Amino acid sequence: MPIELTRRDALSALTAAGITSTAGCAGFSDRTADASPMETLVGVADVLYPSEVEVTEEFIETFMFGRITDKEVYRERLTAGIETLNELATNEFGSAFLGLAPDERVSLFEETALRSGDSVHDGGDIEQVNYHILDELLFAFYASPKGGELVGNPNPRGFPGGFGYNPGVTQ
Amino acid sequence: MNETQSGEAQSSENLDRTPVEDADVCVVGAGPAGALLSYSLAKRGHDVVILEAGPRFDMEHRVDRMKLQIHPDRGVNEVWDMGGERDAYSMSGEQDWPLNKRRVKGVGGTSLHWGSVTPRLREKDFEMESRFGVGKDWPISYEDLQPYYARAEQEVGIAGPDNAPHQPPREEGYPMDPLPNSASDDLFAEAAEALDIDVQSMPMAINTGKYDRNQCQGYGTCEHVCPSGAKYTAEVHVEKAEAEGATVLTQTPVQRFEHGPDGEEVTGAVYKTPDGNTHTQEADVFVAAAGAFETPRLLLLSESDQYPDGLANSSGTVGRYFMQHEGALVIGIVPNQETYQGAYGPVVSSGIQQFYEGTAERGGANIMLLNTSDPSLAERAIDSSGFGDDLLETVNLYGNSIGTLNSVEMLPREDNRITLDRSKTDNHGNPVPDVQVEAGEFSEKGTEKAIQVGKDLIEEMGGNVAFVQGTTTDSDEFIEDIKGGYHPMGGTRMGTDPDDSVVDPNLQTHDLDNLYISGGGVFVTGGAANPTLTIMALSLKAADNIHGSLAG
């Protein structure tokens, strides 16, 4: 049974972080005739995250964007990054990223510098996709209880899950 | 506006950075050595102005800074925007430290990125020469400093154990109960019991609820960023000082002190502003609290016809007897034992103080038990090139690590020193500090002992020692975390004899009546205790003396 990343997961994180409003995130899930940036992010997260995880918009909207401070600046980086992704997808498979079949999306990661290349804040196009999109998505997941629980750590570093966690150890 | 690595914008133009008129006290540096002192004086009615070389960082972007810390490709120096010409330095001695990964310039100073471990020095630390025939005695005793330790602990908010062994005498309990044990603390305690070693709670400057700032939320990133604000930073007392009327001028690096014609008093602190202007702040009293690297440099840069070797340097000891704590790291793997590294929150909650005393031949060790002995889960994930199920498998290879981090006493040596490197200049054309340090046999033996204790404990719990570094490691092989520079001390040491020290027991310089030095630089010996609490205690002692001199 897939583990669904729900809004509740995200909100519990935000509550713990003292962030009470997600205002400013709504624009990312606006659906237009074209694919929204959020749909692409969900598609990318599906590749990045373990297969047992079912990615939801709410999780990304809240967990990832909830921890991005300069949302306007980030929106520009995101737009540019998605453009790069779509160019890569078109060059490899003749379609924008969301038009690719699941195995084509995986192949795109395997056959380009996505993930395997450098990740640079102000680097080249793919380097920036690695930094601003893929690394942010990985932080959102692996610094959340959902990601942590998969490796036995419900309060991974970077997540404000309260202090003093000690489940007791028995040797 | 310049956007920094964290995305936080630093305004350079809009602040009034002109000197404060009729200031009583001018403090250079808004870190722990200056903040509590400033508050202590401001609340007693003195007009205090703080000149801070770095900016004021906002709370909103702390999460971004934390993410810089977690990102495997970002340097520790980037977390607080350190580096570049402003922060240039040289290391010409045996050791090569990444200095800008060890200090922060800004309101809060290096406490912005410290681990917040706050033990007191021990009685013997003030009497190393009398007791062991090494180093030099301080001109004050533990008892002299004890009331100031108590005040500093109350002000800062320390969670610590009241009745633990191997601690110096206490007059009252810690303000907060100690942090609860972590999973790895429990593993260490069980192994230690079999070896007759005491594991005890570590005093930590982390709010567990009693203080008027956020409670610890368990980000697990306190060193080098606490996004919640539960970890004490000197921002707390800078803001309290401001509430009492103190003025803080940020991004105003002090270039030099000027003195009057008779050479007995400092008359002004000359500083630059981001718009390129130069100003001079006048005051009745000046306090150099710019950290143990920059304060001796500032004194040396303040050379004049009357003081060609630098200010407050008639003894010739400015920059000399510089020390650090030698570090050592021991990491082990305990098969089939989940150690929950990173899940607990604070990076340290317990330690071993049993080997603090040392001997005449061997430095004492403060052994800290790590709650974060492996890279964070998110860092591992980002650092890998994998994705999907393969990535999960890769990051899941961790989970059984455990480790100790050790702080070991180094003796003061005349030739361990900070000088000016006149071949290299900062962004204002001033020669940069040059740091020359050699560990010495005393601390080498101390790290060997500390490492052996860590190894014994890991093996006792059925683990395998996987990684060891200390003073016996070839310095070229050091991983970055273990390269030195974390606890700089000495260089402007305290004493009663003006011929071999820079400041007196009240931190007043021997040479200039109205110049004080606050910071680790005044330490005569370094002990093995993380120095910041002692720095703050000494600063309160200096503040009382300054108050007395101004009132008189």
In a domain, A7, yes or no: yes
Phi and psi angles of residue B178, each rounded to the nearest 5 degrees, phi first? -65, 160
DSSP sequence for B384-449: SS--HHHHHHHHTT-S-EEEEEEEE-----TTSEEEEEEEEE-TTSPEEEEEE----HHHHHHHHH
The model's confidence at residue B272, banded by pLDDT at 50, 70 and 90, is very high
The model's confidence at residue A3, banded by pLDDT at 50, 70 and 90, is low
| Helix, strand, or coil (residue B38) | helix
In a domain, A52, yes or no: yes
Span B247-272, average pLDDT: 97
Span B265-293, average pLDDT: 98
Residue A53, min C-alpha distance to chain B (Å): 10
Span B6-33, average pLDDT: 88
Structure confidence at residue B12 (pLDDT): 58
Low-confidence winner among A7-16, B47-56, B287-296, B367-376 (lowest mean pLDDT): A7-16
Overall residue count recorded for chain A in this entry: 171
In a domain, A43, yes or no: yes
- Which positions 74-103 of A are in contact with B (Cβ < 8 Å)? none
Note the Cα B157 to chain centre separation in Å: 17
Contact B445, B134 (CB under 8 A): no
User: ipTM score of the complex?
Assistant: 0.94
| Helix, strand, or coil (residue B9) | strand
Structure confidence at residue A16 (pLDDT): 44
Measured CA to CA, the distance from residue A9 to residue B126 in angstroms comes to 53
- Which positions 103-162 of A are in contact with B (Cβ < 8 Å)? 106, 109, 115-116, 118-121, 131, 135, 138-139, 141-143, 147-148, 150-162
The residue type of B518 is S
| Helix, strand, or coil (residue B30) | coil
Residues B489-520 pLDDT 10s: 999 999 999 999 999 999 999 999 999 999 99
User: HSE on the CB side for B138, CA within 13 Å?
Assistant: 26
Say yes or no to pLDDT of B72 above 70.
yes
Q: Which residue shows structure tokens 């003796």? A: B411
A70 touches chain B (CB under 8 A): yes
Contact B435, B91 (CB under 8 A): yes
Instruction: Single out the residue of B349, B348, B401 nearest to residue B375, CA to CA.
Output: B401
Query: Which chain B residues contact residue A115 at CB under 8 A?
Result: 385-387
Say yes or no to pLDDT of B268 above 60.
yes
Q: Which of A152, A156, A166 has its CB closest to that of B181?
A: A166
Q: Which of A51, A121, A162 has its CB closest to that of B217?
A: A162
Q: Which residues contact A33 (CB under 8 A, 6 or more apart)?
A: none
Structure confidence at residue A28 (pLDDT): 43
Helix (H) or strand (E) holding B332: strand B326-333
Answer whether A155 sits within 8 Å of B396, measured CB to CB: no
Which percentage of chain B shows pLDDT scores above 90? 94
Reported for A120-123, long-range contacts at CB under 8 A and 24+ positions apart, including other chains, are A120/B73, A121/B5, A121/B74
Structural domains counted in chain B: 1
Answer whether B388 sits within 8 Å of A148, measured CB to CB: no
Residues B136-181 pLDDT 10s: 999 999 999 999 999 999 999 999 999 999 999 999 999 999 999 9
Answer whether A17 sits within 8 Å of B217, measured CB to CB: yes
Structure confidence at residue A19 (pLDDT): 36
Residue A72, min C-alpha distance to chain B (Å): 11
Say yes or no to pLDDT of A2 above 70.
no
Instruction: Please give the structure tokens belonging to residue A9.
Output: 């997961």
Measured CA to CA, the distance from residue B6 to residue B75 in angstroms comes to 12
In a domain, B35, yes or no: no
DSSP sequence for B224-271: T--TTS-B--THHHHHHHHHTT-EEE-S--EEEEEE-TTSSSEEEEEE
Q: Give me chain B's average pLDDT, please.
A: 96
Structure confidence at residue B472 (pLDDT): 82
Identify the residue among B65, B377, B384, B392 best suited for mutation to test binding to A, counting A beta carbons within 10 A and taking the highest: B377
B231 beta partners: B206
The model's confidence at residue B6, banded by pLDDT at 50, 70 and 90, is confident
Instruction: Single out the residue of A164, A97, A99 nearest to residue A129, CA to CA.
Output: A97
Contact A133, A81 (CB under 8 A): yes
Query: Which chain B residues contact residue A161 at CB under 8 A?
Result: 217-218
Helix axes A37-48, A135-142, angle to 10 degrees: 70
Measured CA to CA, the distance from residue B41 to residue B36 in angstroms comes to 9
Instruction: Single out the residue of B16, B48, B52 nearest to residue B245, CA to CA.
Output: B48
Instruction: Single out the residue of B336, B338, B286, B346 nearest to residue B311, CA to CA.
Output: B286
Q: B163: how many CB neighbours lie within 10 A of its CB? A: 8
Span A110-126, average pLDDT: 97
Structure confidence at residue B82 (pLDDT): 98
Q: Which of A151, A167, A169 has its CB closest to that of B377?
A: A151
Say yes or no to pLDDT of A57 above 80.
yes
| Helix, strand, or coil (residue A18) | coil
B2 beta partners: B10
Span B369-398, average pLDDT: 95
Structure confidence at residue B293 (pLDDT): 98
Reported for B175-178, long-range contacts at CB under 8 A and 24+ positions apart, including other chains, are B175/B210, B175/B211, B176/B207, B176/B208, B176/B209, B176/B210, B176/B211, B177/B208, B178/B202, B178/B203, B178/B204, B178/B349
Query: Which chain A residues contact residue B10 at CB under 8 A?
Result: none
Which percentage of chain B shows pLDDT scores above 70? 98
Measured CA to CA, the distance from residue A18 to residue B519 in angstroms comes to 35
Span B403-427, average pLDDT: 98
Answer whether B344 sits within 8 Å of A152, measured CB to CB: no
Structure confidence at residue B259 (pLDDT): 98
Instruction: Single out the residue of B200, B203, B196 nearest to residue B457, CA to CA.
Output: B196
Measured CA to CA, the distance from residue B447 to residue B449 in angstroms comes to 5
Note the Cα B515 to chain centre separation in Å: 22
Say yes or no to pLDDT of A7 above 70.
no
Say yes or no to pLDDT of A6 above 80.
no
Structural domains counted in chain A: 1
Domain ranges, residue A97? 3-149
Structure confidence at residue A31 (pLDDT): 34
The residue type of A105 is R
Query: Which chain B residues contact residue A160 at CB under 8 A?
Result: 217-219, 227-228
Structure confidence at residue A32 (pLDDT): 31
**C-alpha distance across the termini of chain A, in Å:** 31
Q: Which residue shows structure tokens 């008892």? A: B143
| Helix, strand, or coil (residue A23) | coil
Structure confidence at residue A63 (pLDDT): 84
Instruction: Please give the structure tokens belonging to residue B405.
Output: 């981090």
Q: A2: how many CB neighbours lie within 10 A of its CB? A: 10
Structure confidence at residue A14 (pLDDT): 44
Note the Cα A130 to chain centre separation in Å: 11
Q: What is the DSSP letter of A91?
A: H
Measured CA to CA, the distance from residue B389 to residue B397 in angstroms comes to 13
A20 touches chain B (CB under 8 A): no
Residues A13-38 pLDDT 10s: 444 443 333 333 334 433 333 678 99
Overall residue count recorded for chain B in this entry: 552
| CATH assignment at residue B545 | 3.50.50.60
Structure confidence at residue B551 (pLDDT): 85
In a domain, B9, yes or no: no
Q: Tell me how many helices (H) and strands (E) chain B has.
A: 12, 19
Q: Which of A67, A109, A157 has its CB closest to that of B376?
A: A157
In a domain, B1, yes or no: no
Helix (H) or strand (E) holding B40: helix B32-42
Contact B52, B30 (CB under 8 A): yes
Measured CA to CA, the distance from residue B430 to residue B278 in angstroms comes to 14
Query: Which chain A residues contact residue B344 at CB under 8 A?
Result: 155, 163-166
Say yes or no to pLDDT of B10 above 90.
no
Q: B146: how many CB neighbours lie within 10 A of its CB? A: 17
Measured CA to CA, the distance from residue B409 to residue B423 in angstroms comes to 32
Structure confidence at residue B397 (pLDDT): 86
Instruction: Single out the residue of A16, A65, A17 nearest to residue A41, CA to CA.
Output: A65
The residue type of A76 is E
A70 or B14, greater pLDDT: A70
Burial B319-354 (b: 16+ CB within 10 A, else e): bbbbbbbbbbbbbbbbeebbbbbbbbbbbbbbbbbb
Measured CA to CA, the distance from residue A110 to residue A106 in angstroms comes to 6
Answer whether B377 sits within 8 Å of A152, measured CB to CB: no
Instruction: Single out the residue of B180, B153, B157, B174 nearest to residue B230, CA to CA.
Output: B157
Instruction: Please give the structure tokens belonging to residue A10.
Output: 């995200």
Residue B83, min C-alpha distance to chain A (Å): 17
In a domain, A156, yes or no: no
Structure confidence at residue A168 (pLDDT): 81
Domain ranges, residue B498? 48-551
Q: Which of B230, B376, B387 has its CB closest to that of A109?
A: B387
Q: How deeply is B44 buried, as exposed, middle or buried, from its count of CB atoms within 10 A (0-12, 13-18, 19+)? A: middle
In a domain, A70, yes or no: yes
Measured CA to CA, the distance from residue B377 to residue A146 in angstroms comes to 12
Size of interface A-B (CB pairs under 8 A): 179
